[in-house]
Each structure stands twice: as C-alpha cells, then as structure tokens.
Amino acid sequence: MRQDAQKAPLHDHSLRQSGNLCRCGMLLGLAPGPDNIFVITLSALNGRRAGLQVVLGLCSGLVLHTLAVAFGVAALIKASALAFLALKICGVGYLLYLALGAFRAGPQQASTAPQSSGKRLYLRGLVMNVTNPKVLIFFLAFLPQFATPANGPVFWQILSLGGVFILITLIEFSLFALLAGSLRNVLTGSPRVQIIMNRVAGLVFVGLAAKLALSQRL
C-alpha cells in the first residue's frame, strides 16, 4: 500500500508533464516557423499529396533529432562551434539549391511534381529538418525539461516525449498541407500564375536560408 501511495504522485506528475508538453507542442506547431512555412509553400505549389510527403520527411528528421538528444549527440554538436557551423552551411546550401530550382522552374514542372517526385519531396523535408542545427538545439533544450529522473530512465523518457511531440507535429503539419494544398488549382490555374508561384517559392527559400545563416549557437 505504501509503495502504491508513493507511485501515485509520480504517475500524476508524469501525466502533468506529458500534458504540458502536448500544450507546448500544439502552440509551437501553430507558430510561424521555417518548417511549417516550408510545408505550406510546397503544398500550395504542388498539392496536398506533395505536402504530406514533405511532412513525413520533416517528422522523420524530428525522429533523428530525438535520438540525437537521447544518445547525447545533440549536446556534442551544441558544444562544438565547428559542427554547428557545418550543419548550418549544409542547411543554407540546400535551401539556396531549392531556391535556384524554383526560380528556374517552368509551369509544367510545378504541375507534374506531385506525380513523379514523391521520394524527392520526402527527402526535401528530411534534409530541410536534419540540416537545421537550431531544431537540434531546440530539442536539446526542450525535451529534458519534461523528463524527471524519479519517473524512470531519462533515456526512455526522452524517446517517449519526443514521440508525443512528433505525433502532434505530424497532425498539425498534415492539416497545414491539406489546407494549403487545396489552393493549388487556384494558384496554379494558368502558366503565368504557376511561374509567379515558383518565383514566390524561390523567395521563401531564400528567406529561410538567410534566417538560418544569421542564426547563432546558443
């Protein structure tokens, strides 16, 4: 009886921590940021299916970030200015590569992308997320706040908390993709509008690259 009485407060505390993480995760997902802007832009340009493939790629990147935090890799990258810079350069370079492709794209490329490049869109989301060191540092600072040694091994807590956060992100970003993707026929109804949308997407990618380039290691 005494052991059950001791476990009850810990269980309640664990539930409160999970609830707090869910609330924070929902608010963070709704706040404008590089990942959801990326999803909305590509969904509006290429359609719902393409947007969902990008979302899966982004969430796969979050899985890798969660594992990095749990295994301590994130702490090493945070401590290393060189590793942080290397990741940032990769991320900026990739975004500029996407921007160049968007600026050069013709209307037919935009209309055929969802049918022919599902794997490529998934990889875009994955690379976009993994090469952003700010996401990794955020996870390193965010997830441990909700882990308590009294509730068990912190390693498993980090994995479970990360899983909850990723599930919330998957749901919210999928909704963004579905909503933005529904605008595709309106926004790309003519070759001229398609070209304009490609240019807008290119500017968005350049803006995201600039934001990442100016980011500093905490």
* Domain ranges, ordered by start, for the chain: 2-213
| Among the ranges given (105-114, 132-141, 149-158, 209-218), the one the predictor scored with the smallest mean pLDDT | 105-114
Task: For the chain, give the percent of residues with pLDDT over 70.
Answer: 84
State the residue for tokens 């998957």. 170
* Nearest alpha carbon to residue 171 among 18, 28, 17: 28
188-201 per-residue burial string, b: 16 or more CB within 10 A, e: under 16? beeeeebbebbeeb
Instruction: State the pLDDT confidence band at 4, using cuts at 50, 70 and 90.
Output: very low
Is residue 52 within 8 Å of 174, Cβ to Cβ? yes
Is residue 98 within 8 Å of 19, Cβ to Cβ? no
**What pLDDT does residue 62 have?**
96
Q: pLDDT tens across 20-58, in order?
A: 888 888 888 888 788 888 999 889 888 899 999 999 999
Q: pLDDT tens across 86-122, in order?
A: 888 998 998 898 889 888 876 654 444 444 478 899 9
What DSSP string runs through 126-179? HHHHHT-HHHHHHHHHHGGGG--GGGS-HHHHHHHHHHHHHHHHHHHHHHHHHH
